[in-house]
Structures are given as structure tokens and as C-alpha cells.
Amino acid sequence: MAIYVLSDVHGHKAALDEALGLASPGDSDAIYVLGDMVDRGPEPLGVIQLVRSLPNAHVLMGNHERMLVDILRETGDMDSFTWALNGGVATALGLDALDKDELAELVDWVEALPLFDVVDTATRRYILVHAGIDALEARAFLATAGIDVFDGRGAAEASREDLLNMLAHQDPETLLWTREEFWGCPTGLVGADGTGPVVVAGHTPSIVLARYAELQQDACVDAEGRGCVVPVGACDDTGGVADRIDIDCSAAAGAPRGRVGIVCLDDGATWYASVKDGE
């Protein structure tokens, strides 16, 4: 079983469909979608329907799903005007077209989406979140659990359960919204020997990633200025291993710079589909 990860499709169903066709995950492979399926693009509910139809799909909540729930449940500070400014018009129109039972089922499903997960390939453990983590808080929590992550040791000794417990104690606002604080500093979870968990996140479009991050392993955009999957943080302190990977390929920007990207964590292979005009 291989593990595929994508994020921040933002209503661009056609590009998602094309990217999935290129990647061709098998029915036994796992697909992780790290949130922000909705808003900005023309088919946010189509994206949700496509994702929910995928075998072995695992979906995390993004900040835009959180906004959707807060608006409909009146559980947060978000108002309809601010949601519209953040691209919520197409999502609202799609929700208005649903009957009462369909709407209730969809909102229940979105509201129940988890904020994080931890997955393993044959060679590496990965932390999956929408936006990122508070690395200092993460290391402090692991230290209280008896895992010494300081002085370059990393968190290779942390079990999956240890990491899930750590994530459960993170501020949900951080997991959904962090940007500069996460991309601007190493996590300290990958040790100097190159071992330890790598954090995979979206939320920050790669076309603007250079504002927040240093030590990008690859270019943040391709030759035509389109978003890419970007490993970040490889240095001597991490044994040359990128401790973070940005998988937001800037679909929210639309055509011509936006793309939906998919990465296979098992071998690092990537596939891209560009957002086209009107899609």
C-alpha cells in the first residue's frame, strides 16, 4: 500500500480529477487530503463529492472547512461577509442547492473531520496537518513524555501514539492557520542523523512560500511560475533531510499559476495538474 497526499484543491475539481488520473493510486493505496477542499474555485462541492468517492480516502479539516462549519453552526467569529471575501461564494451557492437532509449530512461530515494524522512508510514516519505545528510546544510535550528531542536528537524514538498525543495537545488554531512561525523555523523533530518524523502540510501556497521559509530543497515554482510540492529545511542539523514538506501547489490562485499537486510519500514522486481558465 502506497500513501498519496494532496491539499488545498479549493474547488478546482477538474484539476483534482486530472491529477488523480496522472497519479493513478490503486484501490489499496491510501489518499490523504489535508483540507481546504472548498472555497475560491468553481466546484467546491464537486471536490468534496469526488474526494468522498475515492477508495481509502482520509480527509483532514482545513481552515476553510472550519470557516464553513462556523458559519453554518454559528460557532465562531466568522461572518458571511468575511467568508465571502475568503472565496466562500461558490461554496455557499452549492450548499443552498442541497436539500435539508443532504445539507445536514454534509455539514455533519465536515464538522467531524480530524485535524491531524500520523502515517508510516517503509522508511519514514510523517505527521500530516493542514497548516503546520507549534514545533516548540511539540518538543516540550514529547520531552514530558520522556522523549529527549533536544541537542539534535530528533524524535525518532517517539511512537505513533506519542506523536498523536502530542498533536492532540496542539492548539487547533495553530494546526489550521499557522504559517510564518511553522515554515520559518526547523521543527527539531528530525535529528542530525536524518531520522525522525517529517511534517507534511498545505495552507501556504508555494508561490509565496519564499516569504516565510528558508532552505527550500527545490524551487517553489516551476519555469512558468506554477506552484510545486516543496521540501523545506534540509541542512546539517537534519542530516540533509527536509523536515517539512509544503504540498499547497497554489490551486487557490487559479489559472495560470495554480496547480493541484499529489505526492507519494513512499518514493517522493509528484504529479501536477494545472488549473485552467473557468475550471
Amino acid 269: pLDDT: 98
User: Structure pTM?
Assistant: 0.97
CA atoms within 13 A on the CB side of 19: 34
Which one is predicted more confidently, 178 or 83? Answer: 178
What is the per-residue pLDDT across 111-158, written as a single tens digit (0 to 9) for each? Answer: 999 999 999 999 999 999 999 999 999 999 999 999 988 878 899 999
- Segment 255-262 mean pLDDT: 97
Sign of CA dihedral 44, 255, 60, 268: positive
What is the per-residue pLDDT across 166-194, written as a single tens digit (0 to 9) for each? Answer: 999 999 999 999 999 999 999 999 999 99
Integer Cα distance of 206 and 194 in angstroms: 24
Cis bond upstream, residue 256 (ω within 30)? yes
Domains by residue range for the chain, with CATH: 3-273 (3.60.21.10)
How much of the chain, in percent, has pLDDT values that exceed 90? 90
Amino acid 166: pLDDT: 98
What value does the CA radius of gyration of the chain take, rounded to a whole number of Å?
A: 18
Strand pairing of 198-201 and 230-232? unpaired
- Over 90: is that where the pLDDT of 40 sits? yes
Length of the chain: 279
Which one is predicted more confidently, 40 or 76? Answer: 40
Amino acid 78: pLDDT: 75
Any idea which residue has 505527521 for its cell?
127
Are 198 and 232 in contact by the 8 Å Cβ rule? The answer is: no
How much of the chain, in percent, has pLDDT values that exceed 70? 100
Integer Cα distance of 135 and 263 in angstroms: 23
Distances (CA, A) of 151 to 134, 148, 173, 258, 270: 18, 9, 28, 39, 33
Integer Cα distance of 222 and 239 in angstroms: 26
Q: How confident is the model at residue 248 (pLDDT cuts 50, 70, 90)?
A: very high
Amino acid 158: pLDDT: 97
- Segment 21-49 mean pLDDT: 97
- Over 90: is that where the pLDDT of 79 sits? no
Amino acid 150: pLDDT: 82
- Over 80: is that where the pLDDT of 76 sits? no
